[in-house]
Structure 1
Amino acid sequence: MKNILLIEDNDGIRENTAEILELTGYHVLTAENGKVGIEKALETRPDLIICDIMMPVLDGYGVLHIVNKNPQLAGIPFIFLTAKTERTDFRRGMELGADDYLTKPFDESELLSAIEGRLKRLEQMSGPGAAELNPSAAGRPSAPNAVGHISALTDLIADRKVHTVRRKQYIYTEGDDPTRLYFLKAGNVKTVRASPDGKELITALYGPGDFFGYVPLLENTPYTDSAVALEASELVYIPEDEFLPLVTDPRVGQPLLRLLAGHISERETQLVSMAYNSLRRRVADTLLRLHHVSGDAPSAGLIQLSRDDLASVVGTATESLIRILSEFRQDGLIEQTGGAIHVLQPDKLRQTHW
């Protein structure tokens, strides 16, 4: 049974959220402010922390700072739960190392999906070779510099210059030789590949906290797609000669490769879906996938892609996509506002078959 520490000063929210988590099968520790939360975390190291931002005694930013700096707590997945929705608040939390950011009011499925995603990612870090990086794997504190999921990569991006790219600006293009690893600090990026007839296929989407551009570095081959900023974004560049030696480091090589190669499984699933599933099922799967990813965005829960981009992800014509979206909207599964899509009933959307 996974232990979750819930730090929330509102009695009603704390009690209701704890009840939801306990009914789901988690063991829940609760704290009414950040100071008490840190004390409980040190007494019983939780598997995940959910923390409000605005609290008395010690706010959420302070809690996250202590968690990252304390060797006994470093590496615990951390989710902010807050009513603050300003982009600056989101960016500050992500820059401090938060793993996710949910805004109040939230629905149960959003909360549980975020928790399951973070715990699953942590489990991927467990296994042979991961003891130094995942404190729970060996039942003891991690190495002194361990922060987040991969301490060595965190060290690589620390104190580096942040590069700003404009919306629709190309970061690299198909056929270029790779020279660096990219870390997306803020914004959203897509990678695309052109078909022989000139159509664009989106191969992946990246949000704040994601690394990309690493596969060509590992394979020592030119880029097979192009990376384009979907909005004004902030990037950190990590030179090839600093990244590649990390891969061969026996302490971090296996968990690093396991984490960075996680997108391959997702791509395979996407290809199988395109080959065998109905268009309606493919659109539903894509919306659910993007709905989950959007938990790391300032406007959590909203899918803000153009209809052309969304159609490219699904692998269909824009007109066909619009028809399916209209059907989902009429069925009450989604809501469309100002070009953005909000998934209203993810559970029912998962049950879509035809």
Structure 2
Amino acid sequence: MYIQRGGVKLSVRVKSGRETVIAVLGPGDFLGEGCLAGERRRIRTATAITPSTIVVVPKHRMTRLLGRPGIAQRLLSHALVRHAVMEQDLIDQLFSSTEKRLARTLLLLARYDTREGPRTVIRHVSNATLADMVGATPARISTLMNMFQRAGFIEYNRKLVVHRSLLNVLLHD
């Protein structure tokens, strides 16, 4: 599947019933690519978090499309970037403070690495979803969001605006 417009969260649920968000995807991202690697059982749940347009490409057609170098390169690039992000997420969970994990998550949602300019408006993500992504409680996320807003790193009203200055949280110990 390919996201043309909107946002989708990927989550996993363990046997105890606990669910956690492992990624929030947006326009230009792929999902469901595990079937191309022989994954028979779905382990992730995809949920639209904003009105979205998703292009569903049947496996047999996608296999043919992968014969085109441009498409193959784009899917491979997407998979490698997603792998690197998940690896960094694991490292963050083990070694970073909640404040730094939230700052990194907001910057990733804002796609700060692919956009120019001092600020980016990001799609709505609830404190509960951010808490799942960061590994914290919604109350802690609310406290940190208010702190980031007071510091001028974000604007947090009806929409969420992330300023590039939020990078300072990651760069300082």
- What residue identity is the alignment partner of 2:160? I
User: SS at 2:90's partner residue?
Assistant: helix
Aligned twin of 1:269: 88
User: SS at 1:232's partner residue?
Assistant: coil
1:202 to 21, 28, 32: 21
Q: Identity over the aligned pairs, expressed in percent?
A: 25
Residue 305 (structure 1) aligned with residue 125 (structure 2):
yes
Aligned twin of 1:285: 104
C-alpha distance in 2 between matches for 1:191 and 1:203: 6
Unaligned runs of 5+ residues in structure 2 are: none
Structure 1 length-normalised TM? 0.43
Q: 1:297-346, CA deviations, whole angstroms, 9 ceiling, x for partnerless residues?
A: xxx822320111111111211111112222222222222112x3222323
C-alpha distance in 2 between matches for 1:287 and 1:329: 12
User: What's the Cα RMSD here?
Assistant: 2.6
Residue 328 (structure 1) aligned with residue 148 (structure 2):
yes
C-alpha distance in 1 between matches for 2:68 and 2:27: 28
Structure 2 length-normalised TM? 0.83
Residue pair 1:187, 1:234 contacting (<8 A) in 2 also: yes
Aligned twin of 1:260: 78
- What residue identity is the alignment partner of 2:109? L
1:349 to 145, 169, 173: 169
Residue pair 1:191, 1:227 contacting (<8 A) in 2 also: yes
Change (3 A) 1:227 1:293: farther
C-alpha distance in 1 between matches for 2:63 and 2:153: 45
Q: How does 1:1-354 map onto structure 2 within 5 Å?
A: 182-247=1-66, 249=67, 251=69, 255-256=73-74, 258-262=76-80, 263-292=82-111, 301-303=120-122, 304-338=124-158, 340-344=159-163, 345-353=165-173
Unaligned runs of 5+ residues in structure 1 are: 1-181
C-alpha distance in 2 between matches for 1:322 and 1:213: 32
Q: Which has the higher contact order (CA 8 A, sep 6+)?
A: 2
Change (3 A) 1:190 1:335: same
Residue pair 2:30, 2:75 contacting (<8 A) in 1 also: no
Q: How many residues align?
A: 167
Residue pair 1:334, 1:343 contacting (<8 A) in 2 also: yes
Residue pair 1:190, 1:228 contacting (<8 A) in 2 also: yes
Change (3 A) 1:293 1:274: same
- When Rg is computed on C-alpha atoms for both structures, the one with the higher figure is 1
